[in-house]
Structure 1
Amino acid sequence: MTAFHNISFPLKLARGAVGGPERVTEVVALANGREVRNTCLSRSRRRWDVGSAIRNLDDLAEITAFFEARLGRLHGFRFRDPADHKSCRPSQMPGPFDQLLGIGTGSQKVFQLQKTYGDAAGSSVRPIHLPGLGTVRVGIGTTELPASAFSVDTQTGLITLSTAPAAGQSVRAGFSFDTPVRFDSDRLDIAHDAFEAGRVISLALVEILL
């Protein structure tokens, strides 16, 4: 991967993050009062501001070191979204049948991890590229596979099965995951409010594609 460091943003500093998915929709107002709406992105892009989580000098030193090691915006890194980092609800444990990855053809062995968001009216599929090490569980049909029956690339989110599922069999998986992000600025603004205390004015992270 180009300009990506396989290292995680400090989890304790992620817990105060503000943000989430962002879409770009073009809205054109017609003369009759109706609207024409078009999406400009095939899927959402996530943004967060993590500055509010940083309050003391130790945290400021830690984030400064992390920022400098990434050379500002140059290198991406892993970010664990507190609200969305599992194939299931945050309060649950991932299970082997959480997310549908595809349907067996009798020859296909490689499947991309993905998460589907939706309801009866519509849905959106998000590819997952950075699964948590040792968290992936795979189910074929109604049977969970042993860990020895598949391998996981934690840099791409591709799973490779030892045996291709039969045609028509569902391939499902459960997992935890990180989001690939980068800093959205080459500048780190720190305010020293009091003795042994300080804060970052704003520290934005933006999702990147791998």
Structure 2
Amino acid sequence: MSFTEIRFPENISYGSTGGPEFSTDIVTTHNGCEQRNINWSCARARYNIAYGIRSNEQIQELITFFHARKGKAIGFRFKDWSDFTAINQEIGIGNNEKIIFQLIKIYISEKDKHVRVIKKPVHDTVKIYLNGAETKKYSVNYSTGEITFTKPPVKDAIITASFEFDIPVRFDTDYLNASIDNYGSCSWNNIPLVEVKFS
């Protein structure tokens, strides 16, 4: 899958709309009861970046970025300003053997818990702690979100992480349909992005 680690311009993403989307089929029986079938165990984010464009300079920046990604063809990083941090997130427990741990973010609502795998942490934002004490004895794969320790954390050591993260996305269109509003300026109603899922 074609993907570049380049981040979409933050000055445009800041004005975008969107967020997580699930897929649920609802079947209504003859007496009005519902049967809900969950198709996806994890959400897939969608965004519309058209509302973030506020100047001709941003228009040109967007067009250049779109050409470089060849429409839907090449994925890229995107900052979701509504959800881009994890603080003191537990990512594992040591067992004297395992050295690789995946960054995650857990969403908890009373007894319900949803685990989100984080594949695109932001450079120079990751901090790792063992039993609450910060450690430097690890490396970060910023393309996969994996943390690799130089030696296995000791048994029962609680491993936590604080970090910022991006969402891997692609354009969900091969066509930029611009409206020419005035001489030298144009706008869009919809420029969709969709999250890219990695196996």
Regarding TM over 0.5, the answer is: yes
In structure 1, what is the equivalent of residue 157 of structure 2? 169
Deviations 1:122-179 (A, max 9, x none): 011111111111111011112211x3x0000000000001121122221110100110
Q: Which moved more, 1:5-14 or 1:164-173?
A: 164-173
Instruction: Give the distance between the partners of 2:184 and 2:175, measured in 1 at CA.
Output: 22
Instruction: Give the distance between the partners of 1:177 and 1:128, measured in 2 at CA.
Output: 7
Instruction: Give the distance between the partners of 2:163 and 2:26, measured in 1 at CA.
Output: 36
What amino acid does structure 1 have at the position aligned with 2:32?
A: G
In structure 2, what is the equivalent of residue 110 of structure 1? 100
In structure 2, what is the equivalent of residue 25 of structure 1? 24
Q: Please list, as runs of the form range in 1=range in 2, the aligned pairs for 1:73-92 lying within 5 A after superposition.
A: 73-88=72-87
The runs of 5 or more residues in structure 2 that have no matched partner are none
Q: Which moved more, 1:26-35 or 1:129-138?
A: 26-35
Q: Is the 8 A contact 2:23 2:40 kept in 1?
A: yes
Q: Is the 8 A contact 2:130 2:160 kept in 1?
A: yes
Instruction: Give the distance between the partners of 1:152 and 1:38, measured in 2 at CA.
Output: 37
Q: Which moved more, 1:188-197 or 1:170-179?
A: 188-197
Instruction: Give the distance between the partners of 2:54 and 2:9, measured in 1 at CA.
Output: 14
In structure 1, what is the equivalent of residue 42 of structure 2? 43
Q: Is the 8 A contact 1:56 1:196 kept in 2?
A: no
Q: Is the 8 A contact 2:126 2:163 kept in 1?
A: yes
In structure 1, what is the equivalent of residue 192 of structure 2? 204
Q: CA deviation at 1:99?
A: 0.6
Instruction: Give the distance between the partners of 1:82 and 1:178, measured in 2 at CA.
Output: 9
Q: TM-score, length-normalised on structure 1? A: 0.90
In structure 2, what is the equivalent of residue 120 of structure 1? 110
Aligned-residue Cα RMSD (Å) equals 1.3
Q: How many residues align?
A: 198
Identity of aligned residues (%): 36
Q: TM-score, length-normalised on structure 2? A: 0.95
Instruction: Give the distance between the partners of 1:203 and 1:43, measured in 2 at CA.
Output: 24
Deviations 1:11-56 (A, max 9, x none): 0000111110000112222344332222101100000000011133
